[in-house]
Amino acid sequence: MTLVKKIPLWAVILINVNLVVGSAFFLCSPAIAASLGVFSSLAWIGIGLLMYPLLAAFADLSRKWPNAGGIYTYCKEALGTWWGFLCGWTYFVGTAAGNAMVLLALIKILETFGIFPDFLAQSAVAKMIFTVACVVISIVACLFNTEVMETIQLVLTGLKIIPFLILAMSLIPLFDWSNLTAIPVDLHLAVKDLPFILFGYIGLEACTAIAGSVEDGENNIARAIMISFSVIMLTYSFFQFCLIAATGSKILTVTNFAQALNEIILPQLFSSPITVAVFALLIKSCIAISYLGGYYNAFFSNNWVLYAMTKDGCFGNSGITASKLNRFGAPSLFVYIQGLIVATFCIFSTGILTFADLGILIGYLLSVAAFIKAFPFKKLTGVLALGGCAILVLLVSVDIAEQGLLSLIPFALVTITGLMVYAMTETIETT
């Protein structure tokens, strides 16, 4: 039997970084700058610290139960099998819906960047083929060994760094102290923009699902969460400062990070239109690939949630037999299943935001409940973690209000169907 290599700590950290750093910053950093000016860099730290207790709870839970499945396992062990199933099922489906949302957002990004040709952008069939192709690529990538995954992480990280490096290097010729005070604080706008910062930290718990495949998972998952959180928070804050320092009030004329680099910074760095165009295309491509990287890492981790549930017999004893790993140590059956679900969400996207919002929110709330049950002596951390979840409840409620209550129906049907299957499985096994 071939010994499967475990995932090292550095690779888990890159999984988190590549999963989390992306859309929130690339889309919202100019808006945050426009509302908070120089204080926008502190906003990323403030919101990050607000989310810290929730992440600390996940870190403690990962030390106590360092097994595949992550938050499903935590809820099953602390709250019971029924709550474990509810948590795992809604989180798995919600994350799959979120993965589909990323692919659909990627298409819009490519259209905005002009990378997706107009004649294809107007074709629903072309978009469907593109999303299915992305799903197929992610399936293939998830079926191979740890060395392949490590290579993918290094490539994704290298490409993700390029736009940030260009911004950092621009500080040398473009830094101006007056830029730091050029934008007045607008608290009315800030209230609308700050929630986007919070979403810039969602997903750091995903690595808990792969704990069983990680070197010294009992300790390294917690380390990966805390290290990647610190790196991400400081990255957000530093490059938000760089954006303000290099552009000043000019940032008010753009709507996203790529536009700020391509329309404000690059023309000041290079006099040649060809050079500007080449770097602009490079930046757009790297940001687009960053979206794909976030999708891949969420997809990669989420497979292990369904694997752990099936291995525990949530879908019957026959599922236990089906939960075998392939020769590379990958949960191949569940890779295929999730790929099918993501592709379905991409094609039938009604209520997809509600799926993602509620699935992840329920997973977070039940995980905090599991933490409070498992660590009664850490009440302060539990209460503060609930505070972070309360903010998410408010934001999800706003999304549902905008989507309409009818958007709850597909999520309710899928959740109830899952619970019914689980209940029937339990009944059959007891008889």
Rounded distance, CA 347 to CA 124, Å?
A: 9
Rounded distance, CA 326 to CA 382, Å?
A: 38
Other Cβ atoms less than 10 A from the Cβ of 288: the count is 21
pLDDT on residue 1 = 42
pLDDT on residue 96 = 95
Least confident of 122-126, 165-169, 238-242: 122-126
CB 390 within 8 A of CB 55: no
Handedness of CA 281, 34, 160, 242 (dihedral sign): positive
Rounded distance, CA 354 to CA 366, Å?
A: 18
For the record, the structure tokens of 319 come out as 């599922």
pLDDT on residue 120 = 66
Percentage, residues of the chain above pLDDT 70 = 96
Please state the pTM of the whole predicted model: 0.93
> How far is residue 346 CA from its own chain's centroid?
17
CB 266 within 8 A of CB 280: yes
| Mean pLDDT score across all residues of the chain | 90
Residue 406 has pLDDT above 90, yes or no: no
CB 96 within 8 A of CB 77: no
- The candidate with the shortest Cα–Cα distance to 27, out of 258, 253, 294, is 258
pLDDT on residue 429 = 64
Helix, strand or coil for residue 214? strand
Other Cβ atoms less than 10 A from the Cβ of 82: the count is 14
65 or 110, which is more confident: 65
Contacts of 123 (CB under 8 A, 6+ apart): none
The model's confidence at residue 251, banded by pLDDT at 50, 70 and 90, is: very high
Amino acid at 385: A
Rounded distance, CA 196 to CA 421, Å?
A: 36
Amino acid at 187: L
Residue 431 has pLDDT above 70, yes or no: no
Cα-based distances in Å from 289 to 20, 155, 161, 210, 391: 13, 10, 11, 23, 30
Amino acid at 225: I
pLDDT on residue 2 = 53
What the chain holds in terms of domains, given with CATH numbers, is 9-430 (1.20.1740.10)
Cα-based distances in Å from 160 to 13, 257, 282, 418: 14, 13, 11, 37
101 or 119, which is more confident: 101
Contacts of 215 (CB under 8 A, 6+ apart): 6, 7, 8, 9
Amino acid at 235: T
pLDDT on residue 319 = 56
What is the DSSP secondary structure assignment for residue 144, as one 8-state letter? S
Q: What is the pLDDT of residues 165-222, one digit of tens each?
A: 999 999 889 999 999 988 988 888 777 777 788 888 999 999 999 999 999 999 999 9
pLDDT on residue 112 = 83
- The candidate with the shortest Cα–Cα distance to 162, out of 285, 274, 273, 19, is 285
Rounded distance, CA 314 to CA 425, Å?
A: 7
Beta bridge partners of 7: 214
